[in-house]
Structure 1
Amino acid sequence: MINLLKHKDRDQLTEWIGAECYFQLLYKITRDGASGQKFHKLCDNKGPTVTVFYNTDNNVYGGYLFESWHQSKTWSKDENSFLFQLYQRGKWKAKKFPSIVDQGNNFWGSIDHGPWFYDLHSFHQSVEKTSGFYVLDGSDFFRGDRYDMEGKNAQTIANNHNNVVDLEVYLVKGTLDRPWRDPPQWNSQFYSEIKSLISTYGPFEGAQTSASNILLIGQSGSGKSSFVNTINTIFKGKISSRACTGSRFNNQSLTKNFMRYIIRDSAENKNLKFRICDTLGIDTNQTLSSKWMNDKDLGYMLDGNLPNQYTFNLNSFASEHVKGFVKNPTLQERTHVVCFVIDASNIGSITKGITDKLQQIKENVADRGIPHLIILTKIDLLCELVDHDASNAFVSEKIEMAVNQAAAIMKVPRNHVFPVKNYEKELHLQMNMNILALSALNQVLLFANDYLENQYQLQKESEHELNSKN
């Protein structure tokens, strides 16, 4: 079921609460039923909550409670609580009604009642849905005994009735007390340092390759091409769209070719020593038996046989007759590190078929000794705090949970999962977004150098063995 509370509503509630927070749905009357027992089972002893009423006349109103809901059959006092109005007949009419100090208890807790403010009731025991709505208790609501209504009343807020099409209770959560991972420094000095570190990056010296090859693999719409654009944007100094982004109207991958992107540092007027390789997205409706690309093309891509701009054909595979096909690829052409790009906002909806496909690809990657990690995208859609400021990524419980899920899906350590907020709605560069993306890229390049160092060592051992035989 869809949560009815909009981003605009959440931003307004956050402003009224006076602290950065996000909202986790605990209870929804159309999903859980109008039952006091169900409400208390889902909402008791959780901490701060917001209760939102969706009136049949498109009036939206509710109350915030800092204290926890309980079922002790007593009235309690919460001076931090407030009532509010968001919409009047569908029009934005945001207004906060604060608790009147020293006026007495203002909320009730009982197993037989739903959320119950002194000046705004919900239901007693249970209520059945009738004619598409719930008739809730409208006695004396918005009367102004415990909350300063500033001239407003039940007529001006709710059209004098409390009949609702839905009612939602959200847990109001702030950031974690401690970051779940040591964060980078969110300041201009660190940004300059990490940007310079990547700008001066070079592949492992003994490998004799001019640039590291980074391969992106993931579902259609997961943010592979957007990651390319994000990195290019950072070094270009303005919003870039070199790689086409999004999905086709049939939700299939917009990217059909194998594309190598060379990133240029505009400030230094030079090409950077890595290439980001974009490729065909996995159809979101794929099962293991469905076509993505066959193992032969995957092998060619990993081994460096495929030419730049090669167009994948799901009904056939590449061969040495393809124009530009590299028959005997060297370390220069091979893939040096693979990034599995996963959409954090849909991570709970990844099907077994997609998981099996990703695991199958991972086996091909691992069999070649290629390091692999996860770029976790769209974290701003998962967590409002991150949408507001990317620096909240490592104190967000939602992002931590998504990192854990991604690691479990791909069976990799959690320190191989890197959250990123790609440029998507922004028109200007944001330092904290850049720091997050560059921190991930820096680790990607370190992994690429690990591979190149391993290949160098294998080459030296092979030469030593050959010399010893001679």
Structure 2
Amino acid sequence: MHICMLLSPFTAKRIAMGGKQSKAAPAAEPLIEEWRKIQWSQKKEVLQCVTDYQPHNKDVKQLRVLLYGSVGSGKSSFINSVESALRGTISRRAFADANSHKSSTIKHRTYKINREGPGTFYPFVFTDIMGIEGSETQGVRVEDVKLDMKGHIKDGYKFHPYSEISEDDQYYNMSPTLEDKVHVLVCVVDGKTSNILNDESERKMRQIRLAARDLGIPVLAVLTKIDEACPEVRSDVKNVYKSKYIKELMDKMSVGLGFPLNCIFPVKNYNSEMETNDDIDSLILSALKHIINSGENFVNQPTT
């Protein structure tokens, strides 16, 4: 039987360096009592709810969802996985590099998802940006993310780790409308790393979350690669809310990044699969439904 164990940063470092532990790491119980309920059998109902969605605010034709997170966290893969769950076929549209330690996304790019026939799209879009790195001279700059949330960055802008976008740049939007602005901010975190984030990446991500809070933008978090993090989830994705290890990872995210637990959604992105799977879809669609609900609340809130 596989055991999901939570390693301390010190223990993880010892293992990575080939050192021996003087004492075995404490083992967690493989499975615990289910601590969050999900209606696995109601995928069709959730899918229909998402499919039927239309923004109530006439000034917004589509909700804008901005994804941010560290390099390799699975932002692009999450976009592909959402499209796969909605369309019932594996999508590979957003480029995701499984081997690179640098961000595979260097430009500001927004993805629409085809709905039924040609030219018809779901009323929500996902914006992918350069990943966050633990250095001031690497990865996306926090100021660029803040400007993006306000709607100042147009699609096609190439991010520069050394400097943020300037107002005279051709991709700078001087007068953003409500539809140009970000309506939901989603933090994507790689669940397979024992330490999750280094201090500098965590600091940047908290800065972005707090900036969104000041703008009134709802912020949710997606914990990816849960199957790689815990063998019990790999064997059956429906064990996700019975896994003590996944629960501990989510608790760690909540403390480190400031997210309430009910704003964190563990998912398995499509990676090696050739066909979609109802259980994987259920987790993805559950996260998507909450993303949509949060965005809908934001665009309908009274302006001051």
> What is the TM-score with the length of structure 1 in the denominator?
0.58
In the TM superposition, what is the alpha-carbon distance from 1:372 to its structure 2 partner? 0.4
> SS in structure 2 opposite 1:447?
helix
* 1:17-416 pair list within 5 angstroms: 22=3, 24=5, 31-32=20-21, 173-176=29-32, 178-182=33-37, 184-187=38-41, 190-203=42-55, 205-206=56-57, 208-246=59-97, 249=100, 251-266=101-116, 270-283=120-133, 286-287=134-135, 289-416=136-263
Runs (4+) of structure 1 moved beyond 6 Å?
Answer: none
How many Å separate the matches in 2 of 1:207 and 1:373?
24
How many Å separate the matches in 2 of 1:349 and 1:324?
33
Distance 1:207 1:300, change over 3 A: farther
Alpha-carbon contact 2:69-2:187 (below 8 Å) kept: yes
Distance 1:291 1:206, change over 3 A: same
Task: Give the partner amino acid of 2:54.
Answer: G
Residue 452 of structure 1 is aligned with which of 283, 295, 299? Answer: 299
Aligned residues: 295
* Larger strand fraction of residues: 1
In the TM superposition, what is the alpha-carbon distance from 1:347 to its structure 2 partner? 4.6
Alpha-carbon contact 1:256-1:280 (below 8 Å) kept: yes
Distance 1:202 1:365, change over 3 A: same
> Could you give the per-residue CA deviations for residues 347-367 of structure 1, whole angstroms, max 9, x where no partner exists?
525211111111122222222
> SS in structure 1 opposite 2:123?
strand
Distance 1:347 1:407, change over 3 A: farther
In the TM superposition, what is the alpha-carbon distance from 1:386 to its structure 2 partner? 1.3
How many Å separate the matches in 2 of 1:448 and 1:378?
25
Distance 1:347 1:445, change over 3 A: farther
How many Å separate the matches in 2 of 1:310 and 1:192?
38
Alpha-carbon contact 1:247-1:254 (below 8 Å) kept: no
Task: Give the partner amino acid of 1:361.
Answer: I
How many Å separate the matches in 2 of 1:180 and 1:412?
18
Task: Give the partner amino acid of 2:129.
Answer: T
Residue 269 of structure 2 is aligned with which of 406, 409, 422? Answer: 422
Residue 432 of structure 1 is aligned with which of 261, 265, 279? Answer: 279
Task: Give the partner amino acid of 1:193.
Answer: E
Kindly indicate whether structure 1 or structure 2 has the higher relative contact order, using CA contacts under 8 Å at least 6 residues apart: 2
Alpha-carbon contact 1:235-1:266 (below 8 Å) kept: no
In the TM superposition, what is the alpha-carbon distance from 1:23 to its structure 2 partner? 5.1
Q: Which structure has the bigger radius of gyration? A: 1
Distance 1:248 1:326, change over 3 A: farther
How many Å separate the matches in 2 of 1:442 and 1:198?
6
Name stretches of at least 5 consecutive residues in structure 2 with no aligned partner. 8-14
Distance 1:292 1:265, change over 3 A: same
Task: Give the partner amino acid of 2:131.
Answer: G
> SS in structure 1 opposite 2:113?
strand
Alpha-carbon contact 2:114-2:120 (below 8 Å) kept: yes
How many Å separate the matches in 2 of 1:376 and 1:234?
17
Name stretches of at least 5 consecutive residues in structure 1 with no aligned partner. 1-13, 15-20, 44-170, 463-470
> Could you give the per-residue CA deviations for residues 428-459 of structure 1, whole angstroms, max 9, x where no partner exists?
111100000000011011111121122xx12x
In the TM superposition, what is the alpha-carbon distance from 1:22 to its structure 2 partner? 3.5
In the TM superposition, what is the alpha-carbon distance from 1:235 to its structure 2 partner? 2.2
> SS in structure 2 opposite 1:346?
coil
> SS in structure 2 opposite 1:441?
helix
Task: Give the partner amino acid of 2:104.
Answer: L
In the TM superposition, what is the alpha-carbon distance from 1:200 to its structure 2 partner? 1.3
How many Å separate the matches in 2 of 1:428 and 1:236?
11
> SS in structure 2 opposite 1:318?
coil
In the TM superposition, what is the alpha-carbon distance from 1:384 to its structure 2 partner? 1.2
Alpha-carbon contact 1:247-1:253 (below 8 Å) kept: no
> What is the TM-score with the length of structure 2 in the denominator?
0.88
In the TM superposition, what is the alpha-carbon distance from 1:246 to its structure 2 partner? 2.2
Task: Give the partner amino acid of 1:186.
Answer: W
Alpha-carbon contact 1:237-1:266 (below 8 Å) kept: no
Alpha-carbon contact 1:220-1:247 (below 8 Å) kept: no
How many Å separate the matches in 1 of 2:171 and 2:6?
54
How many Å separate the matches in 2 of 1:32 and 1:327?
57
Partner of 1:46: none
**Worse overlay, 348-357 or 272-281:** 348-357
Query: How well do the aligned residues superpose, as a CA RMSD in angstroms?
Result: 2.6
In the TM superposition, what is the alpha-carbon distance from 1:270 to its structure 2 partner? 3.3
Distance 1:181 1:269, change over 3 A: farther
Distance 1:192 1:328, change over 3 A: same
